[in-house]
Chain A
Amino acid sequence: MTATTGSAAGGRDKLPHYVSTAPFDPYSVERMTAEQERYYLASQWKMMWWKLKRHRLAVISGAILLVMYASILFSEILAPYNLHSRFTDYIYAPPQRVHLFHDGSFVGPFVYGFHYSLDMDNLARIYTPRDGKTVPPGLQAPPAAEIQKLRFFCRGDPYEYMGLVSGSLHLVCPAENGTMFLFGTDRLGRDMFSRIVIGTRISLTVGLIGVSISFLLGIIIGGFAGYYGGWVDIIVQRVIEVLRSLPELPLWLALSAALPVNWSPILIYFGITIILGLLDWTGLARAVRSKLLSLREEDFCTAAQLMGASPKRIIGRHLLPSFMSHLIASATLRIPSMILGETALSFLGLGLRPPITSWGVLLNEAQNINVVVLYPWLMLPVLPVVIMVLSFNFFGDGLRDAADPYK
Chain B
Amino acid sequence: MLGYLVHRLLIMIPTLLAISALTFIIIQLPPGDYLETYISELESQGENIDPEKIQQIREQYGLDQPMIVQYLYWLGGLLKGDMGFSFEYSLPVSQIVGDRLLLTFIVTLATVLFTYIVAFPIGVYSATRQYSWGDYGLTFLGFLGLATPNFLLALVLLYLFNRYFGISIGGLMEPEFVDQPWSAAKLVSVLQHLMVPVLVIGTAGTAGMIRRLRANLLDELQKQYVVTGRAKGLPPIKLLLKYPLRMSLNPFISDIGDLLPELVSGSVIVSVVMSLPTTGPMLLSALRSQDMYLAGSFLMFLALLTVVGMFISDLALAALDPRIRLHGGATK
Binding site for B on A (CB under 8 A): 238-239, 241-242, 244-251, 253-255, 257-258, 260, 336, 340, 343-344, 347-348, 350, 363, 366-369, 371-373, 379, 382, 385-386, 389-390, 393-394
Contact = CB atoms under 8 A, between A and B. Distances in A.
A255 B26 contact: yes
Contact of A250 (B149, B156, B260, B298): B298
A369 B303 contact: no
Nearest to A241: B15
A393 B143 contact: yes
Contacts of B310: 245
B221 interface: no
Interface in B258-308: 260-262, 264-266, 268-269, 272-273, 283-284, 287-288, 295, 298-299, 302-303, 306-307
Contact of B268 (A245, A247, A347, A390): A247
A246 B19 contact: yes
Contacts of A394: 143
Contact of A257 (B146, B156, B264, B287): B287
A253 B280 CA distance: 11
A369 B169 contact: yes
Contacts of B299: 250-251, 254
A344 B29 contact: no
Interface of B: 14-15, 18-19, 22, 26-27, 29-31, 143-144, 146-152, 155-156, 158-159, 169, 257, 260-262, 264-266, 268-269, 272-273, 283-284, 287-288, 295, 298-299, 302-303, 306-307, 310
Nearest to A372: B159
Given A246-B303, A257-B30, A350-B288, 14 more contacts: A251-B299, A253-B287, A254-B295, A344-B151, A344-B269, A347-B151, A347-B269, A348-B284, A369-B155, A369-B158, A372-B158, A379-B155, A379-B156, A386-B144
Contacts of B150: 344
Nearest to B287: A257
A253 B284 contact: yes
Nearest to A244: B261
19 contacts: A238-B15, A242-B22, A246-B303, A247-B264, A248-B261, A253-B283, A253-B284, A254-B287, A260-B30, A260-B31, A343-B149, A344-B269, A347-B151, A350-B284, A350-B288, A367-B273, A369-B158, A372-B156, A379-B155
B269 A363 contact: no
A394 B140 CA distance: 10
B149 A363 contact: yes
A340 B288 CA distance: 21
A249 B147 contact: no
Contact of A253 (B31, B148, B268): B268
